[in-house]
């Protein structure tokens, strides 16, 4: 895939603020600090278009990044990366969590094609919230790609054990997990291939 252009198309809390141009979306789910915004920057090859922070809770709105690229054989691809606010940040108040839930539910109800990429930190057993998020997405009929992120933090030996724990906890096949690192860019190409396949399938379906 060859990137042509990326820009922030819209920052939204509610549907009226979503971008008017309808395009397929790849939406990033995961705990606060899991690395959603960093992954988007890596994939669109921009240093800090999606704002990142070591302080959890950086992304408070739904941000739509409009991306244009070409496949290796020259087919145009257009889509939004949707950077969603993270869940599971212990220090936020209940009102804030309710606000988060409203934003996510409204987004999921928006009847447009979405591929869900859910990030978990490869070093940790997924939380009950990770499992709940995964189940909500799948129960609502979304295709979910699970991404084990921050792979640079583990040795190759530790990795296999960590992937087994994640697969077992989430109830997903181990070989379906994508291993990723925004630092080493491991997994970038695999995700580009998955993105291109999804977007071409959507294009063939007529959106």
Instruction: Measure the CA–CA gap between 94 and 162, rounded to whole angstroms.
Output: 31
- What does 56 interact with, of ligand GTP, Mg ion, none (CB < 5 to 8 A by kind)? ligand GTP
Window 22-61: contact mask with Mg ion (x via CB under 5 A): --------------xx--------------------xx--
- The pair of structure tokens assigned to 169 is 């906890």
Q: Which single residue brings its beta carbon nearest to ligand GTP?
A: 86
Q: Which is nearer to ligand GTP, 79 or 117 (CB)?
A: 117
Of these partners, ligand GTP, Mg ion, none, which one is at the site of residue 33 (CB under 5 to 8 Å by kind)? ligand GTP
Using the minimum distance from each CB to ligand GTP, give the nearer residue, 25 or 181.
Answer: 181
Interface contacts to ligand GTP, rule CB under 6 A = 30, 32-38, 52-54, 56-59, 85-86, 149-150, 152-153, 181-183
Least Å distance, CB 204 to ligand GTP, is: 31
In degrees and rounded to multiples of 5, residue 32 shows phi and psi of: -55, 135
| Shortest distance (Å) from residue 175 CB to ligand GTP | 21
Residue 17 beta carbon to ligand GTP: minimum distance, rounded to whole angstroms? 18
Q: Which does 174 bind (CB under 5 to 8 A by kind): ligand GTP, Mg ion, none?
A: none
Q: Is 63 a residue that touches Mg ion (CB under 5 A)?
A: no
Token pair belonging to 8: 């922030």
Shortest Cβ distance from residue 98 to Mg ion (Å)? 19
The DSSP code sequence of the chain is: -EEEEEEEEEEESSGGGS-SS---EEEEEEBTTSSHHHHHHHHHT-SSSS---SSS----SEEEEEEEEE-TTS-EEEEEEEEPPPB--TTS-HHHHHHHHHHHHHHHHS-S-EEEEEEEETTSPPPHHHHHHHHHHHHTT-EEEEEEE-GGGS-HHHHHHHHHHHHHHHT--GGGPEE--TTT-TTHHHHHHHHHHHHHHHHHHT-
Q: How far is the CB of 52 from ligand GTP (least distance, A)?
A: 3
Residue ranges that bind Mg ion, judged by CB under 5 A: 36-37, 58-59
């Amino acid at each position: 895939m060859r990137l042509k252009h990326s820009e922030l198309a819209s920052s939204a809390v509610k549907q009226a603020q979503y971008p008017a141009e309808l395009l397929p979306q790849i939406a990033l789910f995961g705990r606060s600090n899991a690395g959603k915004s960093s992954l988007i920057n890596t994939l669109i090859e921009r240093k800090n278009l999606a704002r990142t922070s070591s302080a959890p809770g950086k992304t408070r709105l739904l941000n739509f990044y409009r991306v244009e690229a070409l496949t290796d054989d020259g087919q145009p691809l257009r889509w939004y990366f949707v950077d969603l606010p993270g869940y599971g940040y212990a220090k936020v108040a209940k009102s804030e969590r309710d606000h988060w839930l409203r934003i996510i539910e409204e987004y999921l109800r928006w009847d447009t094609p979405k591929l869900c990429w859910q990030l978990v930190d490869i070093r940790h057993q997924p939380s009950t919230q990770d499992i709940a998020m995964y189940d909500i997405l799948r129960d609502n009929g979304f295709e979910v790609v699970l991404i084990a992120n921050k792979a640079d933090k583990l040795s190759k030996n530790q990795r296999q054990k960590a992937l087994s724990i994640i697969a077992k906890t989430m109830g997903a096949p181990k070989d379906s997990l994508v291993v990723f690192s925004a630092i080493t860019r491991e997994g970038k190409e695999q995700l580009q291939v998955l993105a291109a396949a999804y977007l071409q399938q959507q294009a063939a379906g007529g959106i």
